[in-house]
Structure 1
């Protein structure tokens, strides 16, 4: 990640209600936390310096998949949630003309894409961590999502 992208992330955190932002890929991990005063109080730089990687660009075919954040049990023990691993915009389909990835009642295999979350003009595929049935879709198409925010209520199969 270059300095321009890092500055954009910091600006995004300081100008919104976001209190914590975390992003990780194979070569780097970035954590930005903000206290109640709006000042950044912690930021972790890349884990290891490596040769710069080409950033994927949006294509109608999809981008590199991101694994969904660890499902968090909800009040009812029967259901779990698939949460957003990043801050961005939630999309139910890969393009405006395409069908949605899943509907309520759909059975999803482990590793199957359930939605996209756009972050900084990159479309990230969110995948199911286990075989499940979509019980409820908790977000509307093109709605902003926060890190860790539930996207789907699911029943593990």
Structure 2
């Protein structure tokens, strides 16, 4: 089995709810597993926060409702381009390279907007129509979930 077929299998598994896939023939045996296995933790939990810092910890929780309202307001500004998969958002093809798009830039249909990495596969997210980038919703190297807003755009 060549690498192209293997990549296709991995993509099919990541785009479904399948947690384990096994294929065996006379030449090859392939097992693809998703999800987490129960294992010993690889990090230590932080020590308890001293009482003097407890009031500061409550302040971010109070700001959470305001942060939750921000995506709703962003949806009203324009159309959202969302993540088609779970992965890591990258604005550029490499750390040294310039970002694919910037706020205010007009992009054509089919132009690459960003990359979402999933299971070591770099998935290029392309514009589905001609549009202007109004806002970039995610930071570089930030994890994204299926359906998360990546960009707010204005159709042209």
TM-score normalised over the length of structure 2: 0.55
Gaps of 5+ in 1: 7-22, 33-42, 47-73
Question: Closer, same or farther in 2 for the Cα pair 1:99/1:75, shift >3 Å?
Answer: closer
Judging by fraction of residues, say which structure has more strand: 1
Residue aligning to 1:16: none
Q: Output the CA distance in 2 between the equivalents of 1:100 and 1:93.
A: 4
Runs of 4+ in 1 over 2 A off after TM superposition: 28-31, 43-46
Q: RMSD over aligned Cα, in angstroms?
A: 2.9
Larger radius of gyration: 2
The alpha carbon displacement at 1:75 in A equals 4.4
Q: Output the CA distance in 1 between the equivalents of 2:121 and 2:75.
A: 33
Contact kept, 8 Å, 1:30 with 1:44, in 2: the verdict is: no
TM-score normalised over the length of structure 1: 0.55
Residue aligning to 2:151: 152
Q: Output the CA distance in 2 between the equivalents of 1:30 and 1:90.
A: 17
Judging by fraction of residues, say which structure has more helix: 2
Residue aligning to 1:99: 98
Number of residues paired by the alignment? 99
Contact kept, 8 Å, 2:100 with 2:114, in 1: the verdict is: yes
Q: Secondary structure at the match of 1:152?
A: strand
